[in-house]
Amino acid sequence: MASAARRLERAGVIRSSLVFILYAELTGNESRIKPGDYAFRGGERLTRVLHHLVNGDFMAVTVAIPEGMTAHQIGERLQLVGLLCGNEFSVAALRGPIPHALGLGPLGAEGLLFPATYRFSPLATADQVVAAMLERFYSIMTPRVEQRMFELGIDQRQLVTLASIVEREAKAPGERRLIASVFYNRLRLGMPLQSDPTAQYNFEGETERALIAVHAPSAFNTYSIAGLPPGPISNPGLPAIEAALYPARTDYLYFVARSDGTHIFSRSLKEHERAIQEVRRAGVGHRQHG
């Protein structure tokens, strides 16, 4: 309280820090002042200054982070709203001190940057933003989730990796659990996942068209590697994580996209080929799986 009052006095917001402190104590507000970055017009009465501090009318930038963005894309979104510059965020998220301290490995916090709407101080650092997003992620890692991961035989990185693929593949929310079931079925049978978004993912933030990417060598390209990629390819939201935790019970091994973003699911290669022909006859481009 005293420190804040002295700063207000030095900034010319109030005339006397002592008077301000006494007034706050007399009104019972000395412990109700909320920390933050404030902007004052100048010439405001002491009562109004205290009112702002108690109400928490501090400067803040609100930013919505959608599901399925990569760390680089989140950095671009933050820069667009005036927070941070250049690759400050992606460097902090992927190679900064916080992921290092948490032992997240060489892939950093990708996949753990929880999509949500945040309010940050305009003076927030990249590490503070990363910390806020990680805090939201770890808040959903409840004992129930831990127990379910144990039942599935997967760890946290495998969970968010699978959820990140589901996030990028599922355009229709109702299909998330179906898509997750396809990937679980393929993993169980030792089949490659053959997911286009994994081939398109680039740790350095570069992008490539799927038709080209699927033929390019990459540690993330599930057309050329077996099993899950080494880490997440996006930052999934809670519905995609739930789908990875509780996939539908199916024997589907393939899916192909319709023009409206929904998919035709198939149990065999023969069924899948018929589905591809059906989509082609409809006269639209298609994105197939498998």
Q: What is the per-residue pLDDT for 285? A: 47
Q: What is the per-residue pLDDT for 199? A: 93
Alpha-carbon gap, residue 67 to 108, rounded angstroms: 18
Q: What is the per-residue pLDDT for 97? A: 97
Q: Facing residues of 288 across strands?
A: 256
Q: What value does the CA radius of gyration of the chain take, rounded to a whole number of Å? A: 25
* Dihedral (CA of 176, 187, 110, 225) sign: negative
Closest CA to 195 of 278, 104, 270, 263: 263
Give the largest Cα separation in the chain, rounded. Answer: 83
Closest CA to 49 of 2, 7, 8: 8
Alpha-carbon gap, residue 234 to 274, rounded angstroms: 31
Q: What angle do CA 257, 117, 204 make, to 5 degrees?
A: 60
Closest CA to 129 of 56, 235, 38, 200: 235
- pLDDT in 10s for each residue of the chain, 290 residues: 788 778 777 878 777 888 878 887 878 887 787 777 766 677 778 787 677 677 766 667 899 999 999 999 999 999 999 898 889 999 999 999 999 999 999 999 999 999 999 989 888 899 999 999 999 999 999 999 999 999 999 999 999 999 999 999 999 999 999 999 999 999 999 999 999 999 999 877 767 788 788 888 889 999 999 999 999 999 999 999 999 999 999 999 999 999 888 999 999 999 999 999 999 888 654 455 65
The SS3 call for residue 77 is helix
Q: For the chain, give the number of residues.
A: 290
Alpha-carbon gap, residue 84 to 287, rounded angstroms: 36
Q: pTM of the prediction? A: 0.81
- β 61-64/117-120 pair status: antiparallel
Closest CA to 275 of 259, 260, 255: 255
> Are residues 255 and 263 in contact, defined by beta-carbon separation less than 8 angstroms?
yes
Distance of CA 231 to the CA centre of its chain: 14
| Backbone phi and psi for residue 117, each to the nearest 5 degrees, phi listed first | -95, 125
Residue with tokens 């099993």: 227
CA atoms within 13 Å, Cβ hemisphere of 70:
21
Q: What is the per-residue pLDDT for 274? A: 94
Query: How far is CA 8 from each of CA 41, 46, 55, 205, rounded to the nearest angstrom?
Result: 12, 11, 17, 43
Torsion of CA 67, 262, 141, 220, to 10 degrees: -70
Q: Facing residues of 64 across strands?
A: 117
Tokens, residue 152:
């599935």
